[in-house]
Amino acid sequence: MSVYCTRCGSLLPVSARFCSNCGAAIPAPQATPGRPLIRPRVGRQIAGVCLALARAYGWDVSVVRIVAVLTFLFSSGLVGVAYLAAWIGIPEEPPNVPGVYPPGV
Ligand SMILES: [Zn+2]
């Protein structure tokens, strides 16, 4: 696996973040170095889409839910469609994760 520098065309290892030839920044293949976008089974309200977004991007889940509801009300259902798409598109957390139990239940 290798990538090419977008500026000078040098062949670089896929893990390279900067070109060793010209020093140009190499865009990361996946721009989510943190947690993957996944719908947790614990703590969800409907399908876990808001929780998935909050965890993946480090947002407050309460804020995400409030914004989602408000935009749903003002977008005449467009956000509802997006929610359904996210429900289908975002993979669910695998079951029976060792050592993880529902907190506060
Ligand atoms: Zn280069």
Give the residue carrying structure tokens 């005449």.
Answer: 76
Kindly give the distance from the C-alpha atom of residue 27 to the centroid of ligand 1, in angstroms, as a whole number: 12
Kindly give the distance from the C-alpha atom of residue 45 to the centroid of ligand 1, in angstroms, as a whole number: 47
Kindly give the distance from the C-alpha atom of residue 2 to the centroid of ligand 1, in angstroms, as a whole number: 13
Kindly give the distance from the C-alpha atom of residue 29 to the centroid of ligand 1, in angstroms, as a whole number: 16
CB-CB contact of 24 with 36 (8 Å): no
| pLDDT tens column, 74-101 | 887 788 888 788 888 878 887 765 555 5
Tell me the percentage of the chain whose pLDDT exceeds 90: 9
Residue 52: domain span: 32-97
Regarding pTM above 0.75, the answer is no
**Winning range, highest mean pLDDT, from 11-20, 25-34, 50-59:** 11-20
Kindly give the distance from the C-alpha atom of residue 95 to the centroid of ligand 1, in angstroms, as a whole number: 44
**What does DSSP say about strands 2-4 and 11-13: parallel, antiparallel, or unpaired?**
antiparallel
Kindly give the distance from the C-alpha atom of residue 11 to the centroid of ligand 1, in angstroms, as a whole number: 8
Regarding whether 38 and 89 lie in a shared domain, the answer is: yes
Regarding whether 48 and 12 lie in a shared domain, the answer is: no
Count of domains forming the chain? 2
Higher pLDDT among residues 45 and 23, named by residue = 23
- Rg from Cα positions in the chain: 19
In this model, does residue 22 exceed pLDDT 90? Answer: yes
Kindly give the distance from the C-alpha atom of residue 15 to the centroid of ligand 1, in angstroms, as a whole number: 14
pLDDT at 32: 47
CB-CB contact of 84 with 39 (8 Å): no
Regarding whether 36 and 82 lie in a shared domain, the answer is: yes
